[in-house]
Amino acid sequence: MHDAFADLREDLLRAGISPRRVHRYVRELSDHHADLIEHLEAHGHPRPEAENEALHRLGSHDTLLLPMLADSRFRSLASRWPALVYLGLPLASQLILALLSAIALIAAASTPLRPALVDLGSGVAVLWLAGSVILSWAAIFAAHRRRASMRWPVIAALAVSTLAAAMNIGVTMPLADIHGEITLALMHPAPLPLVTLAALSLLPLLFHFGTRETP
């Protein structure tokens, strides 16, 4: 009977209520609704009449909304601080990923993996770019799940893409009179990688707007 509360679920999510709490609330209402239908059918009511009467006994749409909207504890952190959740967290995660990548390369330089350090650096660079796209996707899908505005996730995707394209992870192997080095530097991003990363990062928007238009 979850379909009976589809509009209620959507309105609660759009109001900023935590998806976990919405799911629990709708599940409890659905179970109660099913119990009422069973009770009414046992007393001779036809199925359609029992379903309508059960909904009537539970209360109107606004009546069911009110308990959740009235308690601020039910609001998700993302609805209270969208910039922090959708922009701050992806950027912080990206910086942590860059730091961990550098630490991993430095650690590998003191192991038998040292001869393959250049290849490892290339792999880390690919991981860095892929991780940036994944972080952008995570922000967009999190906002979609919460029926939230896409403003901050889009800003996050563009910011993350810019940082990913600007970050250069380099490995120079030591030569006879040259010390080897591992560099992590910010450079002016090249247009093509930047546009490509941004396009890939924003791909989930097709899913978001496509599902919104689906009846």
What are the pLDDT digits (tens) for 48-83? 888 889 989 998 888 999 989 988 888 999 999 999
pLDDT, averaged across the chain:
88
Of 60, 54, 84, 69, nearest in space to 12 by CA: 69
Domain boundaries, the chain: 2-74, 77-213
Query: Is pLDDT of 91 > 90?
Result: yes
pLDDT of residue 159 exceeding 70, the answer is yes
Statement: residue 2 has pLDDT above 50: no
As a whole number, mean pLDDT of residues 118-145 equals 91
Would the pLDDT of 28 be above 50? yes
Residue 175 confidence (pLDDT): 65
Higher pLDDT, 185 or 34: 34
What pLDDT score does 1 carry? 42
In this prediction, what percent of the chain has a pLDDT beyond 90? 52
pLDDT over threshold 80, residue 153: yes
pLDDT (0 to 100) of residue 177: 66
Of 48 and 89, which is predicted with more confidence?
89
- Identity of the amino acid at 161: S
Name, in order, each residue with C-beta under 8 angstroms of 4's C-beta and a sequence gap of 6 or more.
Answer: 30, 33, 51, 55
pLDDT at 214: 47
Tell me the pLDDT band of 102, cut-offs 50, 70 and 90: confident
- Cα distance between residue 142 and residue 121, in whole Å: 31
State residue 72's pLDDT score: 85
With beta carbons less than 8 A apart as the criterion, state whether 152 and 82 touch: yes
Q: What is the dihedral of CA 117, 121, 122, 128, to 10 degrees?
A: 160
